[in-house]
């Protein structure tokens, strides 16, 4: 079997026409390239070059060999790409998150991705992100942390922006944007497990009361029959039934919060060695990330 590097040397020589230029392009020395060409002739048992004083040129057989080698190298590359792509479809990408919003992106992508995606909707504590990746209980984890270690890489996917949904007759509702301070002393219906958002709203809104609900369905039922404000983000529009609820509930207005704390960068963290597996998914996430 002829080594690929010998075919690459032949193709490069055919393209550059000289040993010096071919050696420079291949980042090898000219004597190394000369020995490679001699070895290729020996293995094929044919003469590929006419050797003239201070110059060598391809024979007719050499030209044909170079053309055939170029096609073979292209086929080898195509073969490798095809196998890698197929392997990606066989790999289960296990997704977890520190906060709930990005899971909506993952769920929205799940049916469209050629890869097998497994989503664990139980939120992960921040302190367990590195451990979960390193012990392979998760392939990709969404969080508000830009992790960078010898083994882990992180990529910014988008910004999750918080908004509040207020009864349209409240005086705070007559604004295009609002601050946390404007919501002081109000009572809110909030989903129990919202990751880092829980600490942010508790610390940022003076005198507020929060009635936490364990289930999303219960929260939406209460908001449908009460005037309690509730929070949503730009990712909420990806939740099943969200658009229908917005249309049906004409008693509230959604107002974006303009505070810096209400804008959360979301990173996808993964083992660096698994970059080829997760990159197609990360590109999908970024493309559909809502404003």
Structure tokens that stand for 95 in this block: 């997704």
3-state secondary structure the chain: CCCHHHHHHHHHHHHHCCHHHHHHHHCCCHHHHHHHHHHHHHHHCCCCEEEECCEEEECHHHHHHHHHHHHHHHHHHHHHHHHHHHHHHHCEEEEEECCCHHHHHHHHHHCCCCCEEEECCCCCCHHHHHHHHHCCCCCEEEECCCCCCCCEEEEEEEEEEEEEEEECCCHHHCCCCECHHHHCCCEEEEECCCCHHHHHHHHHCCCCEEEEECCHHHHHHHHHCCCCCEEEECCHHHCCCHHHHHHHCCCEEEEEECCHHHEEEEEEEEEHHHHHHHHHHHHHHHHHCCC
One domain, residues 236 and 100: no
| Residues 44, 6 contacting (CB under 8 angstroms) | no
Domain interval for residue 127: 91-158+264-288
Cβ atoms within 10 Å, residue 290: 16
Of 58, 89, 120, which residue constitutes the final position of a domain?
89
Same domain flag for 172 and 51: no
Do 138 and 270 lie in one domain? The reply is: yes
Asked if 48 and 37 touch (Cβ cutoff 8 Å), the reply is yes
CATH number assigned to the domain comprising residue 24: 1.10.10.10
Q: What is the pLDDT of residues 109-127, one digit of tens each?
A: 887 777 788 899 999 999 9
Structural domain count, the chain = 3
Instruction: Judge if 117 and 254 occupy the same domain.
Output: no
For the stretch 6-31, pLDDT in tens is 999 999 999 999 989 999 999 999 99
Residue 2, number of CB atoms within 10 A of its CB: 13
Instruction: Give the domain CATH number at 106.
Output: 3.40.190.10
Is the per-residue pLDDT at 89 higher than 60?
no
State phi, psi for 276 to the nearest 5 degrees. -65, -30
Residues 107 and 166 occupy one common structural domain: no
- pLDDT confidence band for 187 (50 / 70 / 90): very high
Q: Examine the domain organization and report whether 130 and 178 are in the same domain.
A: no
The answer on pLDDT for 243 being more than 90 is no
Residues 11 and 129 grouped into a single domain: no
d(C-alpha 208, C-alpha 201), whole Å: 9
Q: pTM to 2 decimals? A: 0.67
What is the rounded average pLDDT of the residues 253-281? 94
pLDDT per residue as tens digits for the range 168-181: 999 888 999 999 99
270 with 215, same domain: the answer is no
The first and second tokens of residue 202, run together, are: 């508790």
What Rg value do the Cα atoms of the chain yield, rounded?
30
Tracing tokens 């507020």 back to the chain, one arrives at 208
Whole-number Å distance between alpha carbons of 103 and 97: 7
Residue 239 and residue 191 in one domain: yes
Quickly tell me which residue has 């929205």 as its tokens: 108
Whole-number average pLDDT of the chain: 89
Confidence of residue 259 (pLDDT cuts 50, 70, 90): very high
Q: Are residues 25 and 70 in the same domain?
A: yes
Higher confidence at residue 20 or residue 246?
20
Pair 32, 149 in one domain = no
Same domain, 8 and 126: no
């Amino acid at each position: 079997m002829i080594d690929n590097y010998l075919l690459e040397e032949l193709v490069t020589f055919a393209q550059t026409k000289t040993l010096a230029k071919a050696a420079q392009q291949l980042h090898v020395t000219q004597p190394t390239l000369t020995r490679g060409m001699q070895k290729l002739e020996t293995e094929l048992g044919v003469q590929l070059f006419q050797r003239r004083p201070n110059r060598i040129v391809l024979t007719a057989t050499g030209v044909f060999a170079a053309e055939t080698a170029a096609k073979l190298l292209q086929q080898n590359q195509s073969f490798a790409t095809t196998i890698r792509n197929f392997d990606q479809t066989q790999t289960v990408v296990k997704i977890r998150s520190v906060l709930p919003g990005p899971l909506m992106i993952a769920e929205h992508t799940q049916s469209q991705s050629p890869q097998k995606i497994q989503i664990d909707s139980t939120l992960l504590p921040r302190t367990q992100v590195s451990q979960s990746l390193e012990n392979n209980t998760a392939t990709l984890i969404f969080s508000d942390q830009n992790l960078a270690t010898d083994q882990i890489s992180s990529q910014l996917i988008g910004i999750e922006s918080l908004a509040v949904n207020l009864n349209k007759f409240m005086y705070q509702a007559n604004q295009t944007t609002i601050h946390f301070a404007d919501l002081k002393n109000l009572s809110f219906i909030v989903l129990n497990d919202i990751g880092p958002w829980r600490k942010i709203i508790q610390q940022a809104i003076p005198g507020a009361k929060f009635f936490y609900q364990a289930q999303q369905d219960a929260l939406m039922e209460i908001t449908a029959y009460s005037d309690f404000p509730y929070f949503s983000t730009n990712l909420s529009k990806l939740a099943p039934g969200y658009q229908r609820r917005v249309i049906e509930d004409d008693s509230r207005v959604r107002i974006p919060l303009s505070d810096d704390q209400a804008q959360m960068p979301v990173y996808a963290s993964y083992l660096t060695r698994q970059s080829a597996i997760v990159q197609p998914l990360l590109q999908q996430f970024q493309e559909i990330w809502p404003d």
